[in-house]
Amino acid sequence: MGMVGGGRGAFIGAVHRMAAALDGQIELVCGAFSSNPARSIESGKDFYLPEDRCYPSYKVMIETESELPEGERMDFVAIVTPNHMHFPPAKMALESGFHVVCDKPLCFDMEEALELKRLVESTGLIFALTHNYTGYPMVKQARMMIRNNEIGAVRRIVVEYPQGWLSTKLEAEEQKQAAWRTDPKRSGKAGAMGDIGTHAENLAEYISGLQISAICADLHIHIDGRLLDDDGSILLRFNNGARGVLYASQISAGEENALRIRIYGEKGGLEWAQMEPNTLLVKWLDKPTQMYRTGVGELYPEANAHARIPAGHPEGYLEAFANIYRNVAKCIQARLAGEEVEEVYADFPSVDDGIRGMHFIDKVVESGNSNDVKWVEM
């Protein structure tokens, strides 16, 4: 793996490195870790990389790695930069024959997203998007229960992702993570909805197997002087006729990363929360509520394949993140060997999920910026 971004002081870069390394299938071999060449080189030294594999820019990295013999050069690029810098290295990597793992949202705008989709389709290369919450075993259990009609046709989806960390104007204190997320030149046209609302949108579609068909959004900026939404609620319509609600907020004081989803079908409902990720509640219309636990009892193979340790030893955020990297690694290994990967491991968010996320952002902003109640088709 080569990495773009994620140098000194970066939060998500460290998460990607830990997740990639967890299963011993991926080695970080090079990187362009900062837009500042000197900081990039110094960051590479922090990771004990050879100095000649610590690059001053992503362009130099991709060009140089392309010239190395197969077996020595990187196999794929992980892109962990702010949103406005996802597209340029992803485009160059694909054009140079490298697979890509990219942080979400996919790009800065829809034009870039569609160009990446075209490149992925024309090159046939692997492209993974780190909607990491899809990696949890109990999320996969919920998905399979719905796919196998255990709760009947889905009627309602309620998904929420409240945080409280931007309840003050943290970006004015030169806090790096707050600064770029609230800057439309780096984050794009949406704030909370682009940062965490897309996670909620992706999770709702991933578990249910449905697509959002129309939205009606109410976005708001609570902090004076902030340029992007920090709070919002959305009414949802799905392509099977189901209805739903999505709430994403970064000014919900006291909340941490309280992603939670409830899906109700004809016969019962499912409930999963990221802060208690090893539990899936199954609520029935005509019998007692059941509690499913990671690694316990008869679960779907898709759930069991994404758990690593015996039940009662909690698996969490890093393990779920690692499942995306492990699955990508298995797919790359299979290609190198000329083999087919097991279907259970070919499960990770793709460029198409990224397109859905960018479309969601566009439509949420279109609806939310209207002075009237406005339903917008997805």
**pLDDT per position as a tens digit, 140-154:** 999 999 999 999 999
Residue 54: give its domain's CATH number.
3.40.50.720
181 located within any domain: yes
pLDDT number for residue 10: 87
pLDDT at 54: 97
Say yes or no: 117 and 141 in one domain.
no
pLDDT in tens, 201-214: 999 999 999 999 99
Amino acid at 55: Y
Residue-level pLDDT at 373: 81
Same domain, yes or no, for 287 and 360? yes
Q: Summarize the confidence of residues 290-313 as an average pLDDT.
A: 95
The predicted pLDDT at position 119 comes to 98
Bigger pLDDT: 243 or 314? 243
Whether residue 163 lies inside any domain: the answer is yes
Do residues 141 and 151 lie in contact, with contact meaning Cβ atoms separated by under 8 Å?
Answer: no
Shared-domain flag, residues 71 and 161? no
> What pLDDT does 352 receive?
97
The verdict on residue 316 lying in a domain is no
Residue 18: pLDDT band with limits 50, 70, 90: very high
For residue 210, being part of any structural domain is answered with yes
For 247, the token pair is 């709430």
Residue ending a domain, choose from 129, 154, 185 = 129
Residue 174, pLDDT > 90, answer no
One domain for residues 34 and 139: no
Q: What is the mean pLDDT of residues 317-330?
A: 98
Residue (of 61, 63, 80) closest to 6 by Cα position = 80
Would residue 359 count as lying in a domain? yes
Q: What is the pLDDT of residue 65?
A: 98
Q: Does residue 287 sit within a domain? A: yes
Q: Which of 155, 141, 147 is nearest to 265 (CA)?
A: 155
Which residue segment(s) compose the domain that 57 sits in?
Answer: 2-129
Residues 78 and 8 in one domain: yes
How far is Cα of residue 296 from the mean position of the Cα atoms in its chain?
27
- What's the total number of domains in the chain? 2
Distant-in-sequence, close-in-space partners of 200: CB < 8 Å, separation ≥ 6: 159, 160, 161, 246, 247, 248, 259, 261
| pLDDT band at residue 263 under the 50/70/90 scheme | very high
318 lies in some domain: no
Tell me how far apart the alpha carbons of residues 192 and 249 are, in angstroms, rounded to a whole number.
6
Looking at residue 195, what DSSP letter applies?
I
* Judgement on whether residues 145 and 267 belong to the same structural domain of the protein: yes
The answer to whether residues 62 and 107 belong to one domain is: yes
Total-model pTM: 0.95
**Cα dihedral: 337, 342, 344, 347 (round 10):** 40
Q: What is the DSSP string of 196-244?
A: IIHHHHHHHHHHH---EEEEEEEEE--STT--S--EEEEEEEETTS-EE
Q: Outline where the chain has alpha helix (H).
A: 11-21, 37-46, 58-67, 87-95, 110-123, 137-147, 176-181, 184-187, 192, 198-208, 301-304, 317-337, 351-368
Kindly state whether residues 196 and 262 are assigned to the same domain.
Answer: yes
For residue 346, being part of any structural domain is answered with no
Whether residues 92 and 164 fall in one domain: no
Choose the final residue of a domain: 78, 102, 129: 129
Chosen domain end from 84, 100, 129: 129
Assess whether pLDDT exceeds 90 at residue 20.
yes
Q: What is the CATH number of the domain that holds 267?
A: 3.30.360.10
pLDDT single digits (tens) 94-126: 999 999 999 999 999 999 999 999 999 999 999
- Per-residue pLDDT at 9: 82
Strand 99-102 relative to strand 76-79, pairing:
parallel
